[in-house]
Amino acid sequence: MTDKANSMAPQTAPGLPCPACGARIDIDVRELLIQDSFACPACGLTLDLDRKRSERALRAAEKVVVAMQEIDDLKKRWR
Ligand SMILES: [Zn+2]
């Protein structure tokens, strides 16, 4: 039994509250990079992403995706 492996995995998924109904909209960081809009699962409101205004956030998200891919590679090597 090993219990070290899971301690470093991030448990919080990125998301934001819906401006219309307040429900949490879960956003996959990888989807954020390829999609321009997200729909609220509770009320159906569509949020459009302004790519120019969000450029900094998107760059940060890109780094997160690269880091996650590196972690996946490391996991494969450790097997
Ligand atoms: Zn909503």
Query: 42-74, pLDDT tens digit by residue?
Result: 999 998 877 788 788 888 888 988 999 999 999
The answer as to whether 9 is a domain residue is no
53 in a structural domain: yes
Instruction: Give the predicted TM-score (pTM) of the model.
Output: 0.49
Percent of the chain with pLDDT over 90: 25
Å from CA of 19 to ligand 1 middle: 7
Does some domain include residue 2? no
Residues 6+ apart with CB under 8 A from 20: 40, 43, 45
Q: Quick check: is 58 in a domain?
A: yes
Number of domains composing the chain:
1
- Give domain status of residue 3, yes or no: no
Ion ligand 1 nearby residues (CB, 5 A): 18, 20-21, 23, 40, 42-43, 45
In a domain, 37, yes or no: yes
Classify residue 57: in a domain, yes or no: yes
Domain membership flag for residue 6: no
The range of the structural domain enclosing residue 39 comes to 15-78
3-class SS at 62?
helix
